Amino acid sequence: MKHFDGLTGNVYSSPGRINLIGEHTDYNGGFVFPGAVDCGIMAEMRANGTEDTVMAYAIDLKDRVDFKLSDPKGPKASWARYIYGIAKEMQKLGVPVKGFNIAFSGDVPLGAGMSSSAAMESCFAFGLNDIFGDNKVSLWDMALAGQATEHNYCGVNCGIMDQFASVFGQAGKLMRLDCRSREFEYFPFDPKGYKLVLLNSCVKHELAGSPYNDRRRSCENVVKAIAAKHPEGKFETLRDCTWEQLDEVRAEVGEEDYKRAHFVLGEKDRVLAVCDALVAGDYETVGKKMYETHEGLSKEYEVSCEELDFLNEVAKENGVTGSRIMGGGFGGCTINLVKDELYDKFIADARAKYRAKFNRDLKVYDVVIGDGARKLC
């Protein structure tokens, strides 16, 4: 590694993700439908022979940070906290992580809602498991260690979708994950005659300290209220709650929390409907559900913004089959299912209208579903 001592390490890579449908359902015990993408994070890593000194270099930022694993506070730089956090979480899983050098770079856009942070976590977890852990930690435990890194070191109370997708992804396949039981199924995804394309609003989505955690709290409030009314039942997440039970607590929890939970119950049903439609090759239904999700995320869950709503409207005007906010929201991308013959006109129109309205350029990414975390060499 030229940034440190010139010695060569091993190279690991891990992708970002898309999500066809199932937003804000993961921490509610519902279903998600993500796939890994063909861009992500790549890291060269090697043990450096010290007890607990980590020397880290973020190639794209040209930023170097050294820290000790035994320092209870850890580094300040937000990118370095992912390295510190995942190393601590891997230690909790019994991996005897010692000092190491790491240099990394990425081609997954940051703050675009494509899970660049999960890509880092799973890439680093994969490397530490290989270098110090004899690869004994399971894929699931590495995904959970990534999620715990967000909770414990980065201030985001996220669900498991992003880390799951980054670890388990397979080229050409989406995955339906039941976030309550953790069972999942691969679905080959090759919609003949359609393209999946992301439009990045370039409004930076930033979940740390954002209303993301408030949304989660609203959902938990509703579950608590329902559980108090039904001491006979077991209510852990909104997945365990029915529409009737939600209506029973409407006045008590207030309109805002009610709306949030109302979206989540609907979203759970939409993922299942999309899976059936995909199996039947019915892309019109898939698209219709995507628009419904956008509407719910915008009006009920309130995680959209003017730019994303605008892009959704432009998609509708262009006859795009399905379009919606993807990921946590508050900026980032829309995901669009568009017929091949409409693609060029749609992209040109969206670019022109977005520039005219917001004086800013859109970024466009054609989705290629790629493989999950792996060792490259």
Catalytic positions: 162
**Cβ neighbour number for residue 248 with a 10 Å cutoff:** 16
How deeply is 195 buried, as exposed, middle or buried, from its count of CB atoms within 10 A (0-12, 13-18, 19+)?
Answer: middle
Q: How far is the CB of 356 from ligand GLA (least distance, A)?
A: 30
Q: Is 107 in contact with 26 (CB distance < 8 Å)?
A: no
How far is the C-alpha of 313 from the C-alpha of 295, rounded, in Å?
Answer: 11
CB nearer ligand GLA, residue 15 or residue 327: 327
Residue with tokens 């990045």: 200
Radius of gyration (C-alpha) of the chain in whole angstroms: 21
- Stretch 79-118: interaction string toward ligand GLA, x if CB under 6 A: ------------------------------------x---
- Least distance (Å) between residue 80 CB and ligand GLA: 20
Nearer to ligand GLA, 28 or 318 (CB): 28
| # residues near ligand GLA by CB under 6 A | 11
Q: What does the alpha-carbon distance between residue 125 and residue 316 come to, in Å, rounded to a whole number?
A: 41
Under the binding rule (CB under 6 A), the answer on residue 119 touching ligand GLA is no
Judged by CB under 6 A, the residue of 23, 89, 121, 371 near ligand GLA is 23
Instruction: Name the residue nearer to ligand GLA (CB basis): 27 or 168.
Output: 27
Of the listed pieces 23-31, 94-102, 225-233, 316-324, which binds ligand GLA according to CB under 6 A?
Answer: 23-31
By beta-carbon proximity to ligand GLA, the closer residue of 42 and 303 is 303
CA distances from 126 to 70, 95, 110 (A): 21, 12, 21
Return the number of the residue (26 or 300) whose C-beta is nearest ligand GLA. 26
Residues 6+ apart with CB under 8 A from 315: 323, 334, 336, 338, 346, 350
CB nearer ligand GLA, residue 55 or residue 264: 264
Selected range binding ligand GLA among 19-27, 127-135, 268-276, 348-356, rule: CB under 6 A: 19-27
Report the candidate in 35, 303, 24, 28 with the shortest Cα–Cα distance to residue 180. Answer: 28
∠ at Cα 85 (81, 90), nearest 5°?
150
Query: Of the candidates 4, 13, 21, 24, which one interacts with ligand GLA according to CB under 6 A?
Result: 24
Which CB sits closer to ligand GLA, 160 or 246?
Answer: 160
Sheet holding 53-58, edge to edge: 63-68, 53-58, 100-106, 34-47, 10-19, 374-375
| The one segment of 20-28, 193-201, 224-232, 368-376 that binds ligand GLA by CB under 6 A | 20-28
CB-CB contact of 134 with 23 (8 Å): no
Contact 49, 187 (CB under 8 A): no
Looking only at the bridges linking them, the beta strands covering 100-106 and 53-58 are parallel
Per-residue x/- mask for ligand GLA, residues 309 to 328, rule CB under 6 A? ------------------xx
The nearest distance, CB 200 to ligand GLA, in angstroms, is 15
* Range 25-44, binding ligand GLA (CB under 6 A): 26-27
3-state SS class at 254: coil
CB of 92 to ligand GLA, least distance (A): 20
In the bound complex, what is the minimum distance in angstroms from residue 193's beta carbon to ligand GLA?
Answer: 28
Q: Are 30 and 267 in contact (CB under 8 A)?
A: yes
Quickly tell me which residue has 């309205």 as its tokens: 357
Q: How far is the CB of 7 from ligand GLA (least distance, A)?
A: 35
Backbone angles phi, psi at 223, to 5 degrees: -60, -40
Residues between 150 and 169 that touch ligand GLA (CB under 6 A): 158-159, 161-162
- Site residues (CB under 6 A) for ligand GLA? 23-24, 26-27, 115, 158-159, 161-162, 327-328
